[in-house]
Amino acid sequence: MKMRPGLLTLVLFSVLVPSLGAAGMRSPWDVRLPFKEAVIHYTIDGMEKGTETVYVKDYGRRSAKYHKTVTSMMGMTMNNQTVEIITPDWHYEFNLTERTGTKTVNPYKFYAEEFARLSRAEKKNVIRNAEEVGGIFVGNFGGKVEKKAARILGYDCDRATVMGIRSYVIHGTSLPLKIEGNMMGMAMSTVATSIDKGKVDEKYFQFPAGITPVRDERQEEMFRQMAATVVAMLKEPDGAEQFRRNPPIPAPGTFMPKGERPAGAENRENMNMEDVGRMMEALKEMMGNGDQQLPGR
């Protein structure tokens, strides 16, 4: 079983977001955008070409993403049309091409629950260690983070460079405004062209007609276990060092319940075009997009 693209982004950000810190004793996973409501337009170019629009409400706690692209690879093309809706409680994904939909509990709920159970001293440890964790994670992939390295559409952005991909994220948030780079000889670029702040219509948060999302409880249980593991690690005085020695994040494509064969190196001889596409999406998403993901809280 493979993790769906949007969920991969969300679960990775559930670990990466704490590096952004938090005000006071607020949970490190309670990260807010600098605008209450907005529409963000993106242009996607490279191996995948098309557009993406993200609708934001309540400082990012609710978002809806409309993704429409064509992917060209090895002489073949794939049409991609998806809708992703995130609320504080749920994460929904709809594939308009295949007419399918799924839903899971928003992983951030599990982190909030784990954080709320901690003592004040443990919460302080989590916040302190979380600030260091982001740099550790990126460093483990041979990358680096430069704070306020660029200004895009009027916002200071931190630049994270990992595995040849540069991601520019609004400082203090998890929202990327630019992704660019070259992976395995394939160029990729996702660039925000405008941010229109103002009232966002509720119609963008309605489910696509004719598609009923099916709940994936197995993924939820995996998220719950990961949240418990991450928070248990960060609550300790040496939590950051523990994270450095044993990062609780599987490699992209291997998020699956115990007992199932991972889709890793041992399966590469069986990879088809769809598998390669998923791998590329996973790598892009790890940097903050690919399937441009705005984590909901």
Is residue 271 one of the residues assigned to a domain?
Answer: yes
Residue 84: strand pairing partners: 65, 93
230-245 pLDDT, tens digit each: 899 989 999 888 887 8
Q: Pick from 287, 292, 296: which is nearest to 53 by CA? A: 292
Nearest to 214 by CA among 95, 74, 71, 36: 95
Does a structural domain hold residue 180? yes
226-246 b/e (C-beta count within 10 Å ≥ 16 → b): bbbebbbbbbeeebbebbbee
Q: Is the whole-model pTM more than 0.85?
A: no
Under a CB-based contact definition with an 8 Å cutoff, are residues 240 and 129 in contact? yes
Helix axes 5-16, 107-116, angle to 10 degrees: 30
* pLDDT at 295 > cutoff 50: no
CA distance 124 to 50: 43
Does residue 292 form part of some domain?
no
- d(CA 31, CA 169) in angstroms, rounded, equals 13
Q: What's the rounded Cα separation, in Å, for the pair 281 and 279?
A: 5
**Domain assignment of residue 295, yes or no:** no
For the stretch 85-138, pLDDT in tens is: 999 999 999 999 999 999 999 988 998 899 999 999 999 998 888 877 765 445
Quote the pLDDT of residue 186: 76
- Evaluate whether 18 touches 38 at the Cβ level (below 8 Å): no
Residue 281 · residue 75 · CB < 8 Å:
no
Which tokens is 151 given? 């200004």
Return the higher-pLDDT residue of 5 and 215. 215
**Averaged over 206-232, what is the pLDDT?**
91
Q: How many structural domains comprise the chain?
A: 1
Q: C-alpha 41: how far from its chain's center?
A: 18
Using one digit for the tens of pLDDT, what is the confidence trace for 34-64?
A: 999 999 999 999 888 999 999 999 999 999 9
Indicate which CATH number applies to the domain containing 140.
Answer: 2.50.20.10
DSSP, residue by residue, the chain:
----HHHHHHHHHHHHGGGG--STTS-TT----S-SSEEEEEEEEESEEEEEEEEEEGGGTEEEEEEEEEEEETTEEEEEEEEEEE-SSEEEEEETTTTEEEEEE-HHHHHHHHHHTS-HHHHHHHHHHHHHHHHHHHHHTT-EEEEEEEEETTEEEEEEEETTEEEEEETTSS-EEEEEEEETTEEEEEEEEEEEES---GGGGSPPTT--PEE-HHHHHHHHHHHHHHHHHHTSTTHHHHHHHS-S-PPTT----TTSPPSSGGGGGG--HHHHHHHHHHHHHHTTTTTT-----
Of 74-88, 127-141, 143-157, which range is least confident? Answer: 127-141
| Residue 223 placed within a domain | yes
Backbone angles phi, psi at 226, to 5 degrees: -65, -40
Percent of the chain beyond pLDDT 70?
70
Each residue's pLDDT tens digit, 258-287: 344 333 333 333 333 344 444 444 444 433
In a domain, 297, yes or no: no
Expressed as residue numbers, the domain containing 37 is 5-286
